[in-house]
Amino acid sequence: MYKDNIKKLLAEVRDGTLDVEQALAKLQNLPYENLGFANVDHHRALRKGFPEVVFCQGKTTEQAVKIMQALAQHNDVLATRVSKEMAVAIREIHPQAEFNEVARTIVIKHKEKERRVREDKIILVLSAGTSDMPVAEEAVVTAGIMGNHVKSLYDVGVAGIHRLLNRMEEIRQANVLIVVAGMDGALPSVVAGLVNKPVIAVPTSVGYGASFGGVGPLLTMLNACAPGVTVVNIDNGFGAGYFASLINR
């Protein structure tokens, strides 16, 4: 939205319908807006093609809401690690805000923004188990708000490999695969050995003591013998969804 707004503003200055001082006043929050406790990066949408994303963990409800409000003036908003209290507070101001309780995300869609979805390039998110769904859903929401056609397959881990093999037709249709797994973290390597598409592996902190809070599956994924696997941080569904969108773009 910022890119479109700047084009419109420059055209108005060119056509004489807006003077330079008025234009300067409209640009006062570019490249960032100082909220006192945070510098909201409005320029990021222009620089990166997608606005700043709000990581809510560690923030107070008031801080998270104010940042989301500032961003929502110009762009779609994606916030991650959102608490229920934060979701209630932001929906009082933006009733249209979409709270995904499993993913712990909030999405606020800008009313004036035209959204185009790339239907031809599917991002498929797979999870090894149901317990991995919060991380997988974070990837789904992220890739979706960035304009991608996203599908998901959950609970298709290696403990019952037939569940995965029965869905190979859907898996091969994807342009990028995000594979989320805890425990032994073996699923990304298996999937990468079956397809000729990029696989983004996401280790989760799901597992018993020897998984060391996700370090076990992280090391398994980093040591994947099948080529074509890249690995993001533990529980980082957002990073996987963002990277998959960059591949699609």
* Domains of the chain, start order: 2-108 (no CATH), 118-248 (3.40.50.1970)
Report whether 1 contacts 110 (CB < 8 A). Answer: yes
**Which residues are registered as beta bridge partners of 80?**
55
Q: Where are the alpha helices (DSSP H) in 98-153?
A: 133-145
Q: What is the pLDDT of residue 139?
A: 98
Angle in degrees, 0-180, between the axes of helices 61-72 and 84-93, rounded to the nearest 10: 40
Residue 63, strand partner residues: none
Peptide bond into 31 cis (omega under 30): yes
**In this structure, are residues 159 and 188 in contact, taking their beta carbons and an 8 Å threshold?**
no
DSSP 81: S
pLDDT value at residue 183: 93
pLDDT for 115: 67
Give per-residue pLDDT as tens, 129-164. 999 999 999 999 999 999 999 999 999 999 999 999
Residue 39: predicted pLDDT: 83
Give the whole-angstrom CA distance, residue 79 versus residue 81: 7
CB contact at 8 A, 15 and 29: no
Which residues in the chain land under pLDDT 70? 1-5, 24-30, 111-115
Instruction: Say what the pTM is.
Output: 0.85
Residues 30/43, Cβ–Cβ less than 8 Å: yes
Distance CA 53, CA 76 (A): 10
pLDDT in tens, 160-189: 999 999 999 999 999 999 999 999 999 999
Q: Give residue 50's pLDDT.
A: 85
Can you say how many angstroms the Cα of residue 90 is from the centroid of all Cα atoms in its chain? 19
